[in-house]
Structure 1
Amino acid sequence: MTAEYDFIIIGAGSAGCVLAERLSANGRHSVLILEAGGRGRSPWIALPLGYGKTFFDERVNWKYEAEPDAALAGRRAYWPRGKGVGGSGSINALVYARGLPHDFDDWEASGATGWGWDTVRETYEAMETQVAPDGTRVGSGAMHVQDVSDQIHPVNRHFFDAARELGLPLCDDLNGTTSEGATIYRINTRGGRRNSSARAFLKPALRRANVTLVTGAMVGQIGFDGRRAVSVEYHHRGTVKTVRAGREIILSAGSVASPCLLQISGIGPAEHLKSLGITPIMDAPHVGGNLQDHLGINYYFRATERTLNNELAPFLGKLRAALRYALTRRGPLALSVNQCGGYFRSSDGVNRVDQQLYFNPVTYTTAPNGSRSVIKPDPFPGFILGFQPSRPTSSGRIDLRANDSAAPPLIRPNSLATKEDRAQVIAGGRLCQRLITSTALSGLAASAMGEDLREMDDAAILEDFRHRSGTVFHPVGTCRMGADAASSVVDPGLRLHGIEGLRVVDASVFPNLTSANTNAPTMMLAHRAADLILAEI
């Protein structure tokens, strides 16, 4: 006999965990969550700085790779994605950024009615608890957002001094009413441990009798009765199982996997599906399209004073940091490597924020070829200054590679395809150049490690970006939300155009990329989506 649940959620990532809690809270609806990865119990997930260990760990990371990107010197970008409960929110660097009001007003203007800033802000406020350094709390939401200004490394003061020197604004809270300027990033931790949506939302939901989680469940396809989604077929422990949805199937597998699961189920560009031997149920050319992502670059410098390298590179330093964390849940292991940064306008003539900056009191080397599985601090003092253009205009695609949901996806970023995006790269490089040549940072920078931004002209900034930049791991838009099927995949209620009983709820529905890190907007989207779903019942 085929099991039936009111709601079947595909993917226990940042969005799926929120949905599971919200849809099951009233006790009236049975919820099944199918997760292809494991339970996410690695101690490196709970440890905030442990993402350096999960960055290349195939046990918790899908370790995708994009196709060669012509604008990035033909390089194949490494695309880490969370593999397990919590999704990419369990392996990210924890920066909690809501996004800027105009990001969401642009959503609404593009056809995502009801997703403007005023509504979105209310959802954030309902979802969050703001925690001050002294433990004072504002709000009662499950997502704890920690102010760690009392724990950051002292060397960060030079970044703020440089901002003041250049007349750039300073900001107390990136998510506050005034969000532009140099700031200390707030992170989603609780008691010094990662507070992903798995911990904040799914963990309490699993105590309810009406919630079932199945891990190691690789979904094969969604089944339809005409134009209504009714079932999900998945592979689990060597067998193929089918479950039915009494109310809805909700696809929350993320910007990479969600469009691929739609395509293998027969919904996508018809010619592409036919080329893979898949019979189209509905020709939906936008499924997999509108891919947007942040590209960023780091500039590395040796420092003239002690940085986090001095604390974490030596064995005894690691031991001291571990002991401090074990006793107090504080210190560098309780923080993100991205301690400071902020939203900035690259020049006075720009009418809104166009860059996000990072200042990290540490330098390290990564090697995606598997020769190093840890982000390892260098054995000398150093720091990083980096940037990413906030609102790129180029778009690419993610498509199914083969008639097999387990096959790696076909990721084609199409980076820097517009003149505007290339101009934004130069503008961001010039802004960082002004900062690093300020008196405040000139005194801290002993020498450049590799490429020296201080010596670059516009052409050199762009060329260096082409050869060294990489994804900042914020893919969105591949199942875009909009008013109609002519330009989008789902409607403002996140229902699939032309199909009943099926929604997509994850970052793939973003109409456009938000100005900074995408984990917070993804959880917000799921929180509000649950309200929309329950209102229709």
Structure 2
Amino acid sequence: MQEIVADFIIVGGGTAGCVISARLAEYGFETLLLSSGSNDTLNSMMREKSLFNQLFLNPQFKHYLPASSSANLNDRILDIIVWNTLGGNSINGGGIERLMANDWNYFINATGDQSFHINTMSKFYKMVENFTSTKPFSILNNYGNHGFLKITQVYDPIFNKIWKKVAKELNETFTDTLANTIDYGFSFEASSFTNGIRSWSCNNYLTSTLNKYPNLKVLTGATAIKFNMNEQTKQIKNVLFISKDGLFTGIARKEYILSAGTIFSPHLLMLSGIGDRNILRENNILVKHELKQVGKNLIENGMIIIKYQTQNFSIGQSIPVALINTQLRTNHSNPDTFIILKQDNNTMHLYVFIFNTSPKSTVGFISLYNSNPLIPPKIILDYLTDSKDIQTFINAINYVRKIMSTNTIKQYANLTESLPGLEQTDLTAYIKNTLVPSYHFIGTCSIGQNAENSVVDNLFKVHGISNLRIVDASIFPRKFSTKTGPFLTVHALAEKAADILQKIYS
């Protein structure tokens, strides 16, 4: 048994883990980051937008995560992809949005903490953002310009006018950016790709920091097995992990930070005897600290796709989006659908991605198959348990058809719907047969004021354990879903957590 000691030990090298370890090292703390994945920052499939789809064909970069069959999706088994590489699910399609201003009220209501107000969180977003735009007019004041994460919004002058006219024809709001005072309606999305090259937490936070700060140590291929906890003091004593070099204990002088993500953070807690008493006992794990909500409240938007064959149609390099209500004129509190337009210039297909922004169904939970730490977590996953979610997707399909039938679009291009196709009259069947995850999984270690209803408090500290915090997408509040995805917000939350720790220990 080998022993490693540091001020802070971060378990999990995904989006949040890379951010918080880089910041803590910058703040002068001796920091150890443990990642089960490898460092693939030089791999062109990670970096280049044109090669991203090749990653899905390479199992060495993915955790093997079998999920249960989904009864409401005709017993289909959905693929659950968590990238096993530094940066984790920062390796994605590239779309970047902040949370809507109104969304932060969920955090405030859950915690009673006004520091989650959008005005305060904007500071942490700006610490992340290095924002540029090709627009001839400035929207830069809404964003940060000196952060680690390179973000680019591409302006296409022709389609910008088209999209604006479509919004007007549908009596909807148009805004240049959803981070403005108006954060709904028709707009354009920014991306973590600039000139086809990705910016992500590993490359832009961690790698640059490693070259500057000798007080930061990163161990890749290091799989955490469990936290050992003193039941009397309710403190973590150490974290046990293995790598190709053997078995290790990591001892944090100050605190342990769990950033293994929505799937793996609750898994490691349960393996450590922290979680729902019934689940732990079923798997012959000694209950060290009961927290009923560990692994519960798995929330995910779900996504369906409409496909069009196009003629004389181009969105350029821009990413048109709409955050709208399918039944009423949209305002800041009622969006139920988020759509994204993307075009394949080789096939001339236009794809419309539809997300349910406010699912009524909790899609599942994370549990255990057994107490073996090298066995993947048990993922119970089902969508559409509430029929209102099916109706939302039906309404969204009809709304997209309304967009494509506007006089503005008809005058601009010729579109033919190929999926689901106008001859497909059973939209419920289409949704059940084609819905896939949007990979916006959140909520399994939710934030809140007490141990009965949540896992962490407003300072990200695990209820009842004095030296363990969780910082990743798992901490989003119960019954909350992101309208446009958690990617950028996880960065901002990690910045907030690092700021809290700096103030406590400096």
Give the structure-2-normalised TM-score.
0.90
**Amino acid of the residue matched to residue 144 of structure 1?**
K
Secondary structure of 1:176's partner? coil
Counterpart in the other structure of 2:179: 175
Q: Who is 1:149 aligned against? A: 155
Counterparts in 2 of 1:118 and 1:455: CA distance versus 1, 3 Å? farther
- Aligned partners of 1:292 and 1:475 also within 8 Å: yes
From 347, 352, 361, give the equivalent of 2:343.
Answer: 361
The aligned counterpart of 1:290 is 297
Q: What letter is aligned with 1:504?
A: I
2-side partners of 1:158 and 1:264: how far apart?
54
Partner of 1:240: 247
Letter in 2 for 1:526: A
In the alignment, which residue of structure 2 is the partner of 1:202? 206
Q: Which of 460, 464, 485 does residue 494 from structure 1 map onto?
A: 460
Equivalent position of 2:8 in the other structure: 7
Counterpart of 1:329 in structure 2 is none
Q: Is the 8 A contact 2:404 2:415 kept in 1?
A: no
Residue 387 of structure 1 aligns to a residue whose secondary structure is strand
In the other structure, the counterpart of 1:115 is 116
Residue of structure 2 in register with 1:93 after alignment: 93
Which residue of 340, 343, 356 corresponds with 1:389? 356
* Aligned residue in 1 for 2:219: 214
382, 394, 400: which one aligns with 2:368: 400
For 1:56 and 1:275, the matched residues in 2 are separated by 36
Deviation of the 1:350 alpha carbon: 5.7
Give distance in 1, aligned partners of 2:463 and 2:48.
41
Q: CA deviation at 1:43?
A: 0.9
1:448 is matched with: 417
Match of 2:319 in 1: 339
After superposing the two structures, state which structure 1 stretch, 482-491 or 230-239, moved more: 230-239
Deviates more, 1:59-68 or 1:223-232: 59-68
- Cα pair distance change 1:147/1:451, threshold 3 Å: closer
Q: Which secondary structure state, in structure 2, belongs to the residue aligned with residue 6 of structure 1?
A: strand
Q: Hey, what does 2:56 align to over in structure 1?
A: 55
In structure 2, C-alpha distance between the alignment counterparts of 1:190 and 1:361, rounded to whole Å: 17
Residue 140 of structure 2 is aligned to residue 139 of structure 1 = no
Please name the residue that 1:313 is paired with: none
Q: In structure 2, what is the Cα distance between the partners aligned to 1:192 and 1:134? A: 18
Shift of 1:450: 4.1
The residue number in structure 1 matching 2:83 is: 82
Number of matched pairs: 488
**What is the match of residue 40 of structure 1?**
40
Aligned to 1:517: 485
Closer/same/farther in 2, CA of residues 157 and 76 from structure 1, 3 Å limit: farther
Q: Deviations over 1:352-374 (max 9, x none)?
A: 22211011112xxxxxxxxxxxx
Taking the aligned partners of 1:111 and 1:290, their CA distance within structure 2 comes to: 17
SS at match of 1:536: helix
Cα distance in 2 between the residues matched to 1:525 and 1:19: 9
TM-score, structure 1 length as denominator?
0.85
Q: Equivalents in 2 of 1:55, 1:307: separation in Å?
A: 27
* Alpha-carbon distance between aligned partners in 1 of 2:417 and 2:289, rounded to the nearest angstrom: 54
Q: Which residue of structure 1 lines up, in the alignment, with residue 308 of structure 2?
A: 301
Deviation at 1:156, TM superposition (A): 8.1
Give the drift of 1:192. 4.6
Q: CA deviation at 1:155?
A: 7.1
After superposition, where does 1:468-487 map in structure 2 within 5 Å? Answer: 468-487=434-453
Report the alpha carbon displacement of residue 268 of structure 1 after superposing the two structures with TM. Answer: 1.3
CA apart distance, 1:49? 3.5
Which residue of the partner structure matches residue 262 of structure 2?
A: 255
Unaligned 5+ segments in structure 1 are 309-331, 363-376
Other structure's SS at 2:24 match? helix
Secondary structure at 1:386's aligned position in 2? strand
The correspondence for 2:188, drawn from 184, 191, 204, is: 184
Tell me how far 1:202 sits from its aligned partner: 0.9
Q: Which residue of 1 aligns with 2:237?
A: 230
Distance in 1 (CA, whole Å) between partners of 2:496 and 2:67 is 31
Q: Is the partner of 1:59 in helix, strand or coil?
A: helix
Give the letter aligned to residue 223 of structure 2.
M
Q: What is the CA-CA distance between 1:420 and the residue it aligns to?
A: 3.6
User: Displacement of 1:73 after TM fit?
Assistant: 1.5
On the 8 A contact 1:56/1:80 being kept in 2, the answer is: no
Q: Report if the CA contact (8 A) 2:312-2:414 is conserved.
A: no
Q: CA RMSD in A?
A: 2.4
Cα distance per residue 1:251-299 (max 9 Å; x no partner):
0010011000101111112222222221111222210001100111111
Task: Pick which of 270-279 and 246-255 moved more.
Answer: 270-279
Q: 1:158 to 1:73 in 2, by over 3 A?
A: farther
CA distance in 1, matches of 2:324, 2:394: 14
After alignment, is 440-449 or 14-23 more displaced?
Answer: 440-449
Deviation by residue 1:498-537 (Cα, 9 ceiling, x = unmatched): 1121111000000022211211011111010111122222
Contact 1:355 1:388 in 2 (8 A): yes
Deviation at 1:161, TM superposition (A): 4.7
Residue type of the alignment partner of 2:378? L
CA drift of 1:409 comes to 2.0
Q: Distance in 1 between matches of 2:298 and 2:13?
A: 22
CA 1:450–1:189 in structure 2 vs 1: closer, same or farther (change >3 Å)? closer
Amino acid at match of 2:56: F
Could you tell me which amino acid in structure 1 is paired with residue 189 of structure 2?
A: Y
Gaps of 5+ in 2: none
Amino acid at match of 1:486: E
Which stretch of the first structure deviates more once superposed, 343-352 or 472-481?
Answer: 343-352
- Partners of 1:339 and 1:361 within 8 A in 2: no
Q: Cα–Cα, structure 1 residues 34 and 131, in superposed 2: closer, same or farther, change >3 Å?
A: same
Give the 3-state SS of the residue equivalent to 1:110 in structure 2.
helix
Instruction: Give, in whole Å, the separation in 2 of the partners of 1:441 and 1:59.
Output: 43
- CA distance 1:123–1:465, shift in 2 (3 Å): same
Stretch of structure 1 that moved more, 17-26 or 412-421: 412-421
Does the Cα contact within 8 Å between 1:156 and 1:361 map onto a contact in 2?
no
Take 1:471 and 1:479, find their aligned partners in 2: how far apart are those partners?
A: 19
Aligned in 2, Cα 1:58/1:533: closer, same or farther, shift over 3 Å? Answer: same
1:313-344 residue CA offsets vs partner (Å, 9 max, x unmatched): xxxxxxxxxxxxxxxxxxx9xx7xx8221311
Q: Is the 8 A contact 2:67 2:381 kept in 1?
A: yes
- Aligned-pair distance for 1:424? 2.2
SS of the residue corresponding to residue 244 of structure 1 reads strand
CA-CA distance at 1:97 after TM superposition: 0.6
1:314 corresponds to which residue? none
Cα shift at 1:307: 5.9
Q: Is contact 1:106–1:116 with CA below 8 Å preserved after alignment? A: no
C-alpha separation in 1, matches of 2:311 and 2:210: 50
- CA gap of 1:88–1:112, structure 2 versus 1, over 3 A, is farther
Q: List per-residue Cα deviations over 1:368-408 (Å, max 9, x = no partner).
A: xxxxxxxxx8x642111231111213212012223223322
